[in-house]
Structure 1
Amino acid sequence: MPLRKIIAPIRELSDSGKLSGLLLLLATLVSLALSNSAWGPRYLHLWHTEVGAGGLVKSLAHWVDDGLMVVFFFLVGLEIKREVLYGELTDVRHALLPVLAAAGGVAVPAGIYLLCTAGTPAAHGWAIPTATDIAFSLGILSLLGSRIPPGLRIFLTALAIIDDLLAVLIIAVFYTAGLHLGYLLAATGLLALLVALNRLRVSWLPVYLLLGLGLWFAVLQSGIHATIAGVLLALTIPTASIEKLEHALQKPVSYLILPVFALANTAIVLSGEAVTGLLSPLGLGVGLGLLLGKPLGISAATWLAVKTGVSGLPARVTWRMLLGLGFTAGIGFTMAIFIANLSFTEPARIDVAKLAVIAGSVLAALVGVAILKTAPEAEDEA
């Protein structure tokens, strides 16, 4: 039937993990096209429309970042907990390699960014190029099919999850505004209650989600970024419910929340000033941090870990494959754009940072694919 012929390829893309990355790319292109069309002013105004009541009045764009993205961070927290409990991060020796690689992949891009922006107000955005977009990165690997050994895919997944954890810690520590003690104490109390419920083996999910809503509100009002509440809540969820929640949230996050985030956060007017800003210290810091910093940091940290005997390369993974993976990890997109929003208040600077994230991510993806497509199998490498 004609309908089946349409649905079958879409289902295949969804099952392979490619569809989520394609939707993010499509949402970005649509948002950029609308922003620079005759409908641009109306489209930009839409995302700045304020919605809410009482003390909770925010623009639609802020609700996406402070509301919808909490669900994304909740899913990230669930993935972190699952990997630590019975995934690739359970065994200390196996976990060390992606942990060290992720640390190198954060430190070197941050260093490159700071070298480029030293002495400028843009230096505050040092964390922008440190993040890896797990959906896009894994989507790139899935495009290459059987050429990619399972060990490389697992390594990238573990690395990206640790990378997300480091990004969450960076947001909590370095991108927190003035703290409101009352709300911070309330958040602490709610978190303690959630932990107690977990220890008492309470398995009724609605009570966790209801208290989680209170935790989100308290964290939002405390001055700490609201998305941290999503991760904290995830870490208190009963182990038996983790996979069920992950399964329930995977599609809404991949096919609704992240595309909406892309629409809201890539509404950029491509003025001459914004485009030339790619060659400014800010633009170069972000772009080079993603394009060069990620592969350098990941490769160097991995090489040191292997040469010192701390860990070994995954099965059938070659050094050339690892370099290609390093470039693929330079796709920052979602988390990098998110941190760009937290780093600056000036719209022009935010736009330059976002454009640099897009440019750096695209170039990193292209180089990563080129290297991985030509990388020989482990047994063929000299």
Structure 2
Amino acid sequence: MASFIIEGGHRLHGELIPQGAKNEALEVLCATLLTPEEVKIYNIPDILDVNNLIQLLRDLGVTVERIGLNAYSFKADKINLDYLNSDEFFQKGAALRGSVMIIGPLLARFGYAVLPKPGGDKIGRRRLDTHFLGIQKLGATFTYCPKAQRYEIKADKLTGSYMLLDEASVTGTANILMAAVLAEGDTTIYNAACEPYLQQLSKMLNRMGARIEGIGSNLLTIHGVSSLKGCEHTILPDMIEVGSFIGMAAMTQSDITIKNVSYNDLGIIPDSFRRLGITVEQNGDDIHIPEHESYEIDTFIDGSIMTFADAPWPGLTPDLLSVFLVVATQAKGSVLIHQKMFESRLFFVDKLIDMGAQIILCDPHRAAVIGQARAHKLRAANMVSPDIRAGIALLIAAMSAEGTSRIHNIDQIDRGYQDIDKRLNAIGARITRL
């Protein structure tokens, strides 16, 4: 198990370029299964989850070639469906939650898919009902073996249908969308997720010959086509990494410029950080965070305590609440962090409390943070990263703390952040990888 040794108290100065978006990459990589023609994808992040999915595609028979820095070509003209029933696929698929999104493309093209119960972050129950109910509406049948924890999905023919999703699931919408593009007739998806990554997937599919209307809204209409062709696609910058860098800059009293962030695709994120008291300056498509000797949390208009709660797009992404929580520990003022979507994502706060943060964990979904306005700096600690986003929050805490901290299980951080130690060390951090 790899670890980070972090020497806290160092201010950073310089520029950071965000990696390609992890969540978009997982979607568009699965979409390459929809055509036998070549698909070229650029700005693919070099991170564990994405690399594991690329290897899974190779194992399925996709020809994968590296064509440049963070750029690959994919040609799914020789898919080996027998691999889906192998022990190797079961192990790899179960370890990678993104593997769930191969169901839609495989079912659309071949009428058959197998899925081991997928893994991923330990952040609470993450049901797959939305995926399955939507794909069943298109005509697929599901069989689940509880003993093997394995789903088998079949469809002689997919037919377009109207559906109202029970939740605006991002991966669920992506999976259903990829199945529907090759279904016969029209499909209407209401309460669809509409994150920028879903918009990117939809635009990519349209370039491949799909006919998707309503992109950017929660009402998608898909006119089924008989086949798709190849295309080229460039992945957006990762908004979660951009947000992580904003919080890190304020917490460590650093002066950082984040380059090429695709500002218009960040939604409510910059303004949410401003409500934490952080100065976020937009310079074209860059963001500049000046040094913050202090920052004060805003209140609501009536003077009540600020609340940050996650919500489907265009609301605040749940992936950044861990960062908001840790940044609030050194702000002036108090805030309530309300994590509605995952019941185990706030359990890392006990590590912050051990470091000297004043946090009350009200229940699995809510934490009240009493900012200390830097009157009492966090103390160094020995920690374990439970998931990707808690991992980056703990790294931010360690970088701002007095003394030297250690974070174990940093594979969780590597799953979502490319060479994070090297990139931060280049602008003044002191992080050693063991």
Q: Provide TM-score, normalisation by structure 1.
A: 0.28
Which structure has more RCO (C-alpha within 8 Å, separation ≥ 6)? 1
TM-score, normalising length: structure 2: 0.25
Q: Which has more radius of gyration?
A: 2
Q: Which has the higher strand share?
A: 2
Greater helix share, structure number = 1
